[in-house]
Structures are given as C-alpha cells and as structure tokens.
Amino acid sequence: MCREDGRDSQGAHLVCFGPDGDGPFTCIRGCDPKEIWKLAGARQSHRVGMARPTVRTPPRPRRLYKPYPVEPEDRLFLQLIQLRAWPSVALDGLKRLAARGLLHFEPVWDGHRSHLAWVISDSSRLNAQARKLNGEGWKGIGDAKAKTVPDIPDARWPIGAADIGNRPIVVLCEGQPDFCSVLPLAVDEGIDPDQIAPVCITGANHNIPTDAGAHFTGKTVVIPHHSDASEIGSVAATRWTYQLYEYGASKVVTVPCGNLATGTPRIKDLSDFLSMEDRSVQLLRPIVGKCTGEN
C-alpha cells in the first residue's frame, strides 16, 4: 500500500468518484482496492474499482407536432364546404377557425404519396387530426376517414383546450367535422364567435386529461353529442360532464344532436345539423344569451 510504503502520507493517491466523494474509489498507483478496504477497517460490500457511477440522463422533452401548412386559399375552404355539404356562410366561420390556428391545410403522407388534408390542432401542438380534402380514407389505417397525425405526443389531448382563453362558452365536440362546425354555426346564428371556443375530443372513449382540466374552470360547456344506436355518444357526454364539474366548470349542457331536427333523414352530429337547409331551432344563441345577458 502507498501509505504503508511511505509514498502517500497525505492520502493523495486515493481518488473517490461521485458528487459527494461517496462513489467508487481507486488508487492512482494501482493499489488493490481490497487492501484499501482493510486499511479503512470496513468490509467490501459492493463492487469497487475504476467503474464510475451511473449518470442519469434527464428525459428528453416531448417532441411537439410541427405543422407544414399550405397557403389557406379560399378555394380550399370552399372545397371543404362542398365536401361536407355545409352552407356558404360556413366560409366565414372556417376562416375564423384558421385565424386562431385551429385549422389548416397540409400535405400528409399515405399510400406512398402525400395527400392534401384539412388538419386541426391547437397552440399546445400536443395533438393533431387529419382528413383528406377529397373525402377518401387513409389506406395506411384501413381506409378510416380520420387519422391522428403520426408521432404526436398525446392523442388524448382535447384539441382547442389550450386556446380557450377568456372565452366564456366552450363547445366540446367529438370528432373533427363537429369541431369545425362550431364557429360556422355561431356565424349562421348571428352571435359573436369570439364568445365561443370549440374543443375536439378525438374519440368517445377518451377522457379529459387532468392537465387540460384547468382550461375549463369557470366555463359554460356545451356538449352536442352524437346520436347513435349504440348510445356511445350519450355515455361519453355523461362521463365528460362529471369530469368537467370536477375541473371547476360552472355549467355543463348536454344536447343530443338527433334532437335538434325532426323528420328524415335523422341527423347524427353537429356537422349534419350545420348542413341542414332549414333549421327550425338554434343551438348556441339561447345559451350565449343566458351567459352574456343578451336576448
């Protein structure tokens, strides 16, 4: 040993690793670590020597969705309106949605080539959903109409929640077409769209995540849920209602879309309601009137 041989009276040859000197150790002259243990009057209880302690690498931040939008020309909005059979008044509402950064047009890859799609997202860039502008399905996912954009951080994130801001009324929808119908419907009913924040949950089985809950605090939330034979829409609306009250929503109003119109064909969702030529009832105006005091 260096100390016993008189070559290291100050212990300078002993090197300890670790931030507090409590990690593995060695002698720079090559002394046997077992002999160092003996000299210290301790037993060898773990591996010693030159091995450095494991350094914990901090987790990488989530890679957010990065859109590659094309110029939002009128012809693209009009193509979307024609695809969904919406009235021409929808153009104003869709442009407002795009101005908020909630709707854009973007080439999305599928079947060995890119396809122009209409895409919804919000400023959080946690989630995004795309549909082809020609109405075709995505071949890569079995011809489904809607596709969650690949590699997004959180497919459960309610799109639009991050941009509710000070708007007093939230319209919580299931699916991309209903989400895009909200502001056109507000314009058509003659109410101020700036009072309303559309939010999209991309699947009836998704819950409202806790990290989105604070955005709904103090808001009046309208849920125009799907009317389908399976009643999945109704079940989802009930579940979301409980969650919204837990997050501090001031009021939650659920509306079965099938009850918004009578006769045939029966409508299923808010997009169908917007596409009707003659709507005998209004969805948003009565609720906005109660919240803002307007008649």
| Three-class SS of 255-275 | EEHHHHCCCCCCCCCHHHHHH
How many Å apart are CA 245 and CA 233, to the nearest integer? 18
Do 200 and 262 lie in one domain? The reply is yes
Instruction: Quick: pLDDT tens for 129-166.
Output: 999 999 999 999 999 999 999 889 999 999 999 999 99
Do 179 and 233 lie in one domain? The reply is yes
Is a pLDDT exceeding 50 seen at residue 193?
A: yes
Structure tokens belonging to residue 178 = 């209903």
At residue 12, the pLDDT reads 52
Do 5 and 79 lie in one domain? The reply is no
Instruction: Quick: pLDDT tens for 82-131.
Output: 999 999 999 999 999 999 999 999 999 998 899 999 999 999 999 999 99
Give the pairing of strands 251-256 and 113-121.
unpaired
Give the pairing of strands 25-27 and 14-16.
antiparallel
Residue 98 is assigned to a structural domain of this protein: yes
Do 107 and 117 meet the contact criterion of CB atoms below 8 Å apart? yes
Do 241 and 98 lie in one domain? The reply is yes
Give the residue-averaged pLDDT of 11-40: 58
Range of the domain at 46: 1-56
Residue 164 is assigned to a structural domain of this protein: yes
Is the backbone of residue 294 left (phi > 0), alpha (psi -120 to 50) or beta?
beta
Structure tokens belonging to residue 101 = 């950064």
Do 176 and 261 lie in one domain? The reply is yes
Among 56, 84, 102, residue at a domain's last position: 56
Higher per-residue confidence, 261 vs 214:
214
Residue 43 is assigned to a structural domain of this protein: yes
Do 133 and 32 lie in one domain? The reply is no
Do 210 and 243 meet the contact criterion of CB atoms below 8 Å apart? no
Do 92 and 14 lie in one domain? The reply is no
Instruction: Quick: pLDDT tens for 170-188.
Output: 999 999 999 999 999 999 9
Higher per-residue confidence, 138 vs 25:
138
Higher per-residue confidence, 65 vs 16:
65
